[in-house]
Structure 1
Amino acid sequence: MKIGFIGLGIMGGAMSANLIKKSNRDVFVFDFDESKVAKSAAIGAHACASSAEVVENADVIFTSVPKAEHVRAVHESVYDVIRSGQIFIDMSTIAPKDSVTLGKKINEYGAQFLDVPIVKSKQQAIDGTLGIYVGGPKEAYEKVKSLLELLGSDIVYMGENGKGITMKILHNMLVGEIQNGVNEMMLLAEKNGIDWQTFLKAISIGGANNFYIQTKAEVIGKRKFDTAFSVANMRKDVGIAEDMVNDQGIDLPGVKLVNGIYQQAIDRDLGNLDFSASFKVVESNAKAAE
């Protein structure tokens, strides 16, 4: 089983490196950034000049690109070279309805498609300890499970195509809501003379303790928003979540609130900062209300 990997960004580069180092299989890679391809080749990958060249050589093809239009562009560039029996694994975060449509088109060429989004962040991608959700045919998942285990320590099979990415959007929406709660209470603590170190210690012994207070309290306290997961990426994901809410015709005010905060962050040119920089929006809005 030969492996292909298209998209060597922060997460894709780390995941493909684990496949190159751990799978004991040929790994063919492509990215429009030639320096990223060269970096992968330096650790043992086969450098390719196009997505089509990857697909021509691989049995299992991973994609990790920013948006649905990028996944679609990759697929459209390889339809002529797809072989029956290949498995496409998309690890991008896109709208579930887009993922399902793309998967159906891949199926027309005799290949199988899995939506396999990831949770956690850059360090876990490097360590191979990501959380992974899988949507798609169970038999295809079973064939590639050993490869996914090189990338993540926790894998949950969610069901048919679209269910993996649906779960990722639900996850990230909840992260956005939790982070907003952290932002608001850290600001209120500051206003009441409680520093972030004391706040963190006090929270840690109670039921409100959570991963994001533990990992973002210092970031917020020091106002040093080095990017692990960007505002721009979170805005994309919570925007998809709000679209899903609207498609269902239900009212979830928290989703709208958080989506609005991240849109404000984009409007204030915070898109490249860590998503915890949404604190700056909460802080600014609080001052405006004084």
Structure 2
Amino acid sequence: MAKVAWIGLGVMGFPMAGYLLTKGGHDVTVYNRNGAKAEAWTAKYGGHSATTPAEAALAAEYVFCCVGNDDDLRAVTTGPEGAFRGMGAGAVFIDHTTASAHAARELFATASDRGIAFLDAPVSGGQSGAENGALTVMVGGEEEAFARAKPLIDCYARAVNHIGPSGAGQLAKMVNQIAIAGLLQGLSEAIAFAETAGLNLDVVMETISKGAAQSWQMDNRWRTMHEGKFDFGFAVDWMRKDLGMCLDEAKRNGAQLPVTALVDGYYGQVQNNGGGRWDTSSLITLLKPHTPKSDD
């Protein structure tokens, strides 16, 4: 049993932290900016809550984090009441936020100066993956710290891989998002084409999902896309944040992302149509004769 702190109890962090206690048997203290969520977590799982990240991190061997963006991450680590102020030498900070590789490297350096290990460890699998303990985790940082943290991450993950040095985890998550963006646009066009052609979509999808076109998105989203249901899963607002980081990183490293830039623009149109909180599969709404509004 390890002494663990968890910072950030959103739709992902809430169940992930729960697995550390229920499956791992660890002593978990949680912090959330909205204290009501921390109270709800301790009511459901037990454990303890703290009023600041620094308080949560006191004497913790491992501190986990899952917050919104670079600014949020800096606030809960190096801010006036950040976790780094409470962590002792030798502790490991595991960041599950989807953030920039630049922020990961910056915090790795700051943590190292304090004798703290820092791992950037973004996840894939969405809310359902977090709730079912079946996330994929891609990790950047030192191998020794990864080896120590992996048994704990295994509590809520089905796959955990060390990708490379600091920042490599975030770069791998960018690869993931680039692939998904292009795939969803292709799936949207395929479904809209089949509908326009008057094909029996059940039969078509049953057929092509057994071949080279198969994907997780096809298996899990084609029917809801066809039915115009987008009130679940990974939101467009979050995807635009992620794709913005991909495009910024590409400017720095010289990678060419023409399709990603195009799809990012399409997601901007979905936001303008009131769909910022819709699932990312809502790209298909741009290909329909009637584009639903958020209050339809």
TM-score class normalised by the smaller sequence: over 0.9
Do residues 38 (structure 1) and 39 (structure 2) align?
yes
How many residue pairs match? The answer is 286
2:289 & 2:95 partners in 1: Cα distance?
A: 38
Q: 1:195 to 1:235 in 2, by over 3 A?
A: farther
Aligned to 1:19: 20
Do residues 239 (structure 1) and 244 (structure 2) align?
yes
How is 1:50-65 mapped onto 2 (pairs within 5 angstroms)?
A: 50-65=52-67
Kept in 2, the 8 Å contact 1:130–1:152? The answer is yes
From 230, 235, 248, give the equivalent of 2:235: 230
Report the Cα offset of residue 202 of structure 1.
2.5
Do residues 6 (structure 1) and 11 (structure 2) align?
no
Aligned to 2:209: 204
Report the Cα offset of residue 177 of structure 1.
0.7
2:257 & 2:133 partners in 1: Cα distance?
A: 35
1:24 & 1:251 partners in 2: Cα distance?
A: 45
Aligned to 1:48: 50
Q: 1:266 to 1:59 in 2, by over 3 A?
A: same
1:59 & 1:260 partners in 2: Cα distance?
A: 43
1:231 & 1:166 partners in 2: Cα distance?
A: 20
Kept in 2, the 8 Å contact 1:4–1:57? The answer is no
The secondary structure found in structure 2 opposite 1:150 is helix
Aligned to 2:186: 181
Kept in 1, the 8 Å contact 2:59–2:88? The answer is no
2:186 & 2:215 partners in 1: Cα distance?
A: 11
1:24 & 1:82 partners in 2: Cα distance?
A: 21
Kept in 2, the 8 Å contact 1:261–1:278? The answer is yes
Report the Cα offset of residue 285 of structure 1.
10
2:289 & 2:122 partners in 1: Cα distance?
A: 33
1:80 & 1:8 partners in 2: Cα distance?
A: 20
Kept in 2, the 8 Å contact 1:28–1:57? The answer is no
Q: 1:91 to 1:188 in 2, by over 3 A?
A: same
The secondary structure found in structure 2 opposite 1:13 is helix
Aligned to 1:111: 116
Once the two structures are superposed, residues 128-151 of structure 1 have per-residue CA deviations (whole angstroms, 9 ceiling, x without a partner) of 111111110111111111101111
Kept in 2, the 8 Å contact 1:15–1:151? The answer is yes
Structure 2 residues without counterparts, runs of 5 or longer: 292-296
The secondary structure found in structure 1 opposite 2:288 is helix
Report the Cα offset of residue 284 of structure 1.
6.1
Once the two structures are superposed, residues 38-80 of structure 1 have per-residue CA deviations (whole angstroms, 9 ceiling, x without a partner) of 1221211211111111111422000000101000000123243
Equivalent position amino acid for 1:273 in 2: W
Q: 1:253 to 1:46 in 2, by over 3 A?
A: same
Equivalent position amino acid for 1:44 in 2: G
TM-score normalised per structure 1? 0.94
Aligned to 2:294: none
1:254 & 1:170 partners in 2: Cα distance?
A: 13
The secondary structure found in structure 2 opposite 1:149 is helix
TM-score normalised per structure 2? 0.92
| Identical columns (%) | 28
Structure 1 residues without counterparts, runs of 5 or longer: none
Aligned to 1:132: 137
Kept in 1, the 8 Å contact 2:23–2:155? The answer is yes
Do residues 86 (structure 1) and 88 (structure 2) align?
no
